[in-house]
Amino acid sequence: MLFNLLAPFADDFHVFNLFRYLTFRTGGAMMTALFLSVLFGPWIINWRKSRQGAGQPIRTDGPETHLAKAGTPTMGGFLILLALCLTTLLWADLKNAYVWIVILFVAVAFVEMVGVLNGANLANGLVVVLVMVTAGCLGFLAFLVGNAVFADRLQIPFVPGIGELSVFCGAVIGAGLGLRQQTAAGGGG
């Protein structure tokens, strides 16, 4: 939304030219998602604690470090998806079809996250680290494939507009960092 609102004024106000750069918007998305996760994290965790009661059951055959997480609410993924959607809508080019495809995808990811992460309770919050690393790699690849100069130099296919997904991946990283901060502070995960 910021791109669509401010980039057209870049010729009149040179500071708005920053919004034309994917790297700037990706960094902005990452920081905004981190900020939203940290800001809303305690509220969402308290809300989930009040609704869930006993909280997260911890298996005794898992790592001892996970025993300290007993009683924390589940559904940290809700925090990630909230920050991810709001941040992507704020920083991405809303005229880009790829952005809208990955935002419908959020509903599918939510259902998948509930099933897979509840089944992988042993990993608990560690899955978020893998998601952040994967998002970082995919965001970097999207940036390279979406940049005509880099794609030509690296001899990889150029796909116009796909670089916008690096903003989405930056939001995933920022939201994941915020969730990890909440889990490290004794919140949920």
Whole-model pTM: value is 0.79
The CA distance from 78 to 47, in Å, is: 12
Cβ(39)–Cβ(179) below 8 Å: no
Task: Give a yes or no: residue 7 inside a domain.
Answer: no
Task: Give a yes or no: residue 41 inside a domain.
Answer: yes
Mean of pLDDT values over 152-163:
96
Task: Give a yes or no: residue 137 inside a domain.
Answer: yes
Task: Give a yes or no: residue 83 inside a domain.
Answer: yes
The CA distance from 138 to 144, in Å, is: 10
Task: Give a yes or no: residue 129 inside a domain.
Answer: yes
| Model confidence pLDDT, tens digit, residues 104-149 | 777 776 666 666 655 554 445 567 788 888 899 999 999 999 999 9
Task: Give a yes or no: residue 11 inside a domain.
Answer: no
Specify the DSSP element, H or E, that contains 163: none
Task: Give a yes or no: residue 59 inside a domain.
Answer: yes
Task: Give a yes or no: residue 61 inside a domain.
Answer: yes
Place of tokens 């915020």: 178
State the total domains in the chain: 1
Amino acid, res. 187: G
| Model confidence pLDDT, tens digit, residues 78-89 | 788 889 899 999
Domain of residue 160 covers: 22-184
